[in-house]
Structures are given as C-alpha cells and as structure tokens.
C-alpha cells in the first residue's frame, strides 16, 4: 500500500521564490534519493503577505518513510536552511493511505 506524507510550512511571500528554489534544489532531491520514495511534489499558495508550502511525497511503506524522516515518522524533518525562511516550525506531518479506483495503490 502506498502512503502519502504531507508537510506544511509558511514563509513571508517576499521569500516564496527563494524558498521554492531551495525546496526544488535540496529537499525534493533528498526525498527522491531515499529508497522507497515514489514521487515528491511541492504545492505553493500565496495568501497576502504569507506563502504556504506543502510537500507531498509518496512512499512504499512506513519503513521507507523512516529512511527519510527517522524513527518517529510523525515528526517533521527540517533542514538547517529552513531557519532563514520559515515563520514557524510545525512539529508533525500527516500521513494518508493512498487509493485509486482500483483500491489501494
């Protein structure tokens, strides 16, 4: 069964392009290098002075997620560079089982 992992972060809108570049150059390749990762995407929404980012990644199993996130897969993983961008640090992420019209993916 495939598992989706969703993380949310916020930056100032003025930093949105720089943070998107960071995610595309550093974070997404990091996800993709991890065994068991099927795909990784960034979603962005600018809302006035704030930019919201979601990373949406798909994994083969909880064990695969542990290869990326560590033993506690519910805990958000941050990079040192995030300190220069993020307005806050949400402590957890969300996981969902993934289904399609044929059942579990």
Domain interval for residue 81: 3-104
- What is the model's pLDDT at position 101? 77
If DSSP codes are grouped into helix, strand and coil, which group holds residue 20? helix
User: Do 65 and 40 meet the contact criterion of CB atoms below 8 Å apart?
Assistant: no
| Total domains present in the chain | 1
Q: What is the CATH number for 71?
A: 3.30.70.100
Taking the C-alpha atoms of residue 87 and residue 84, their distance in angstroms, rounded to an integer, is 9
Length of the chain: 105
Q: Where are the beta strands (DSSP E) in the chain?
A: 3-12, 37-47, 50-59, 94-97, 99-100, 103-104
- What is the model's pLDDT at position 103? 67
> Mean pLDDT in each 10-residue stretch from start to end of the chain (105 residues)?
97 98 97 98 98 98 97 97 98 96 70
Taking the C-alpha atoms of residue 102 and residue 12, their distance in angstroms, rounded to an integer, is 41
- What is the model's pLDDT at position 100? 86
């Amino acid at each position: 069964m495939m598992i989706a992992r969703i993380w949310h972060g916020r930056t100032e809108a003025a930093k949105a392009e720089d943070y998107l570049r960071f995610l595309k150059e550093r974070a997404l390749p990091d996800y993709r290098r991890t065994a068991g990762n099927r795909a990784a995407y960034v979603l962005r929404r600018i809302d006035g002075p704030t930019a919201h980012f979601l990373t949406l990644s798909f994994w083969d199993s909880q064990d695969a997620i542990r290869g990326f996130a560590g033993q506690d897969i519910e805990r958000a993983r941050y990079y040192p560079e995030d300190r220069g961008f993020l307005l806050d640090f949400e402590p957890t992420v969300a996981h969902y089982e993934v289904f399609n019209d044929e059942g579990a993916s």
